[in-house]
Amino acid sequence: MKKTVFSAMRPTGKLHLGHLVGALHNWLLLQKEHKCIFGIVDWHALMGEYEQSLEIKDNVIEMAADWIACGIDPEKSIIFVQSQVPEHLELQMMFSCITPLGWLERNPTYKEQLREIKTRDLQTYGFLGYPVLQAADILLYKANAVPIGEDQLPHLELTREISRRFNHIFKKEIFEDCEAILTETPRLLGLDGRKMSKSYNNAINLSDTPEQIASKSKVMITDTKRIKLTDKGHPEECNVYSYYNVFAPQQTKDVYQWCSKAEKGCSDCKKILSQEITEQLKEIREKRAKLIEDKNKIRDILEAGKQKARQIAQKTLEEVRGVVFG
């Protein structure tokens, strides 16, 4: 059955390989089967990174270019910018009025991020309430499916709790439960073996040139036990090998052989990998470069997406206002 699927990304910087294999590949599959609504959620970006607010505008355009270059089709899916659809904030306000503080304070991701992230100011009212805005993002379009990883299930559960509470308080089934489309994504660490992240500067971006890909690949962490060329390696413990698994699975047998038998050195191994990645990103990079030359065209696509998104959003808000204010 055709579903309404909602998913989003925060425009906080360039998209990298992690976004490609962790989300966009899956979005392309969903786009074939379902009605998809993809949001560039700039309010969420502002929540965590308000000190870099002036970068958000450019990041929005870059993100739209990345998405379209990867195959997200504005003719099939709605691509829009969250702050251009004011209904998100109105619904968030409605939900804020009925969401118990304890639900937000107990949110495991909130607690974890407060503990782990020291480079950004997350001690704000806005950040505590980000799951309420997330609930509004999803429910505004009455989405009945959200592609997520298992770690994000508590968030979706919070969205369900908010929608059920809303229906209960205002005595009308305005919102249905939204289900998770659980997606298994390949685990891809950053070049340095840590979590892939913009703040660690440890990722290959979709917009990187072949030269940048080659130089980033050179510094990839390998099997730390393999020190000399003659040392036999342990591919299953090597980050480079895990990239082969994702980007050149047809080569993994050869890599296993040359690594475990010390037939090839790590720099050659990384060079071949960088060529594979460069080849795979070629089409995206070329399409992206063309798109970015005409930013007005991207703005037009986002404007059209906004119109479509608002049509749905306004309808939902009418219903919501009706049950809340009569």
Task: Rank residues 213 and 238 by Cβ distance to ligand SF4 and give the closer one.
Answer: 238
Question: Which among 174, 176, 99 has a CA at the least distance from the CA of 324?
Answer: 174
Residue from 11, 39, 190, 235 binding ligand SF4 (CB under 6 A): 235
**Binding residue (CB under 6 A) for ligand SF4 from 241, 243, 248, 317:** 241
Instruction: Tell me, residue by residue from 265 to 294, as one string, x for binding to ligand SF4 by CB under 6 A and - for no binding.
Output: -x--xx------------------------
Cα 86 to chain centroid, rounded: 22
Name the residue nearer to ligand SF4 (CB basis): 253 or 290: 253
Total residues interacting with ligand SF4, rule: CB under 6 A: 14
The reply on whether position 226 binds ligand SF4 by CB under 6 A is yes
Half-sphere exposure of 23 (CA within 13 A, CB side): 17
Displacement of CA 32 from its chain's centroid (Å) = 19
Answer for the pair 263, 257: CB distance below 8 angstroms, yes or no.
yes
Q: Which is nearer to ligand SF4, 10 or 216 (CB)?
A: 216
- Alpha carbon distance 190, 18 (integer Å): 8
Nearest to 269 by CA among 235, 230, 246, 224: 235
Q: How far is the CB of 19 from ligand SF4 (least distance, A)?
A: 24
Burial (0-12, 13-18, 19+ Cβ within 10 Å), 98: middle
3-class state of residue 44 by DSSP: helix
Q: Is 216 in the site for ligand SF4 (CB under 6 A)?
A: no
Contact with ligand SF4 (CB under 6 A) among 255, 277, 301, 302: 255
* Angstrom distance (rounded) from CA 108 to CA 272: 41
Residue 244 CB, nearest distance to ligand SF4 (Å)? 7
Assess 238 for contact with ligand SF4 (CB under 6 A): yes
**Binding interface with ligand SF4 (CB under 6 A):** 222-223, 226, 233, 235, 238, 240-241, 255, 259, 264, 266, 269-270
